[in-house]
Amino acid sequence: MNTILLGFVGPWQIVLIIAIVLLLFGGKKIPQLMRGMGSGIKEFKDGMKEGEKGAEDKEKEKLN
């Protein structure tokens, strides 16, 4: 009995996705896209850290 697992990604699916991305964006755009994605993630993490510090400061002000 064959069952279909939704969400299962095998090696052939990964190869197909990479091939489609290369066809759509080309080899020169991929590093730029990854660089932009990395800087976006870094900015998001920095914002989360600032948000945590701001929340801690507000709690300290409430206690005083």
- Name which of 15-24, 44-53, 55-64 the model is least confident about: 55-64
Would you state the pLDDT for residue 1? 42
Q: How many CB atoms lie within 10 A of CB 30?
A: 13
* Residue predicted with more confidence, 62 or 27: 27
pLDDT grade, residue 21 (50/70/90)?
Answer: confident
**Residue indicated by tokens 């989360």:** 48
Q: How far apart are CA 48 and CA 52, in angstroms?
A: 6
* Residue predicted with more confidence, 21 or 43: 43
Would you state the pLDDT for residue 64? 64
